[in-house]
Amino acid sequence: MPAFLLRLIGLGILVLAGNELFKSNKKFKITSKSNCDESFRRFNQSITIHSDKVAKLRRAHNTIRKRISEYFYNYTNYPIPDFYIQGSYKTKTIIENTDSLCDVDLGVFFPCNPGVHVETLQKHIKKALDGHTSKGVEIITNCVRLNYVKDFHVDLPIYYTDSFWGKTYFGRRGHRWERSEPKEFVNWFKEVTYRKPQLVRIIRYLKAWANNTKIKTGKKLPSGLALTIWAIKFYEGSKRDDVAFFKTCTGILKYLDDYYKSSWSAEMPVEPYDNILDRLNNFQKSLFYDEFKIMVSISADAVSSLKKYDAIRFWKQVFGYRFK
């Protein structure tokens, strides 16, 4: 690990190379007695979707594909779309939330520009899926959402691919089609996390923290995609997952401290290269910052504990009841 010195503004914490940490001007170490690596690994398994749910998801995908394809073939003159499971499912960072639900993105890809408004296509997709589940289907801001009674809901964003240039465009409701490359993002993710399984786990832990925090506070937090990009950028590895999580989060917090809220950035590494943080206003960013700072402070207490029991108690505050 490169030598570094981080000042966690508002926490009074300094982190130094060699796992030495100072709090309130008193030096303390990341102790071996606080080692919760095994507990983190078990937690990673507890937030992993069960194989039965994966099988249900695959069946749901096949059914959705069949219903939409048949609908567009029988009732419209538009091209028949193809489908691509994307997002966290594809990058293996999907987690089971505390309500046992998973968010799954299934892209609907048309082979050319359909020549109509995104809203029109959304209405057709909704009609194709009406009655499929008892919880129904709805049109939300930028996709169609199919709700299942339990296990997951499936979001269906709409794209088309320019057959001549091979470029992909995303249909944003109320706007023109804009460049977007979800498949390229998956390729980028696989490249930057190659042979870094711990980094993938850190992303999953961050998402679990965000889910637990949202349930407790009701606050709007940066998306899992933003947390993913930050985790990759500020990743600090360790033999222990608890320490790697703490170091990565201190790196993120230093970045948040070094720049004012309006300057925070989590840019997509592929087109359209947009800043995902633009979806939050400064007030929402302030709420997130406060929660993140608290989390890093509790994490510092955890990794410096003199008893594993105390460390686990602190980590439960971060992740909730599923952490053991």
Digitized pLDDT (tens) for each residue of the chain, 324 residues in all: 333 333 343 333 444 333 334 344 345 589 999 999 999 999 999 999 888 888 888 899 999 999 999 999 999 999 999 999 998 989 999 998 876 678 889 999 999 999 999 999 999 999 999 998 888 999 988 899 998 877 788 999 999 998 888 899 999 887 789 999 999 999 999 999 999 999 999 999 999 999 999 999 988 899 999 999 999 999 999 999 999 999 999 999 999 999 988 899 999 999 889 999 988 999 999 999 999 999 999 999 999 999 999 999 999 999 999 999
Cα 314 to Cα 10, 198, 295, 308, 321: the distances in Å are: 19, 21, 10, 10, 11
In this structure, is residue 324 part of a structural domain? no
End position of a domain, from candidates 162, 187, 212? 187
Phi/psi at 126 (5° precision): -60, -45
Rounded distance between C-alpha atoms, residue 176 and residue 156, angstroms: 18
pLDDT given at position 292: 97
**Residues of the domain holding 210:** 20-47+194-319
CA distance 63 to 50: 20
Last residue within a domain, chosen from 137, 156, 187? 187
3-state secondary structure of 188: helix
| Contact predicate 127/71, CB 8 Å | yes
pTM of the model: 0.88
264 is a domain residue = yes
For position 15, what pLDDT does the model report? Answer: 42
| Residue of 163, 162, 175 whose CA lies nearest to 118 | 175
Rounded Cα–Cα distance for residues 297 and 246 (Å) = 9
pLDDT at 185: 95
Q: Do residues 165 and 204 both lie within one domain? A: no
295 assigned to some structural domain: yes
Burial 115-137 (b: 16+ CB within 10 A, else e): eeebeebbebbbebbeebbeeeb
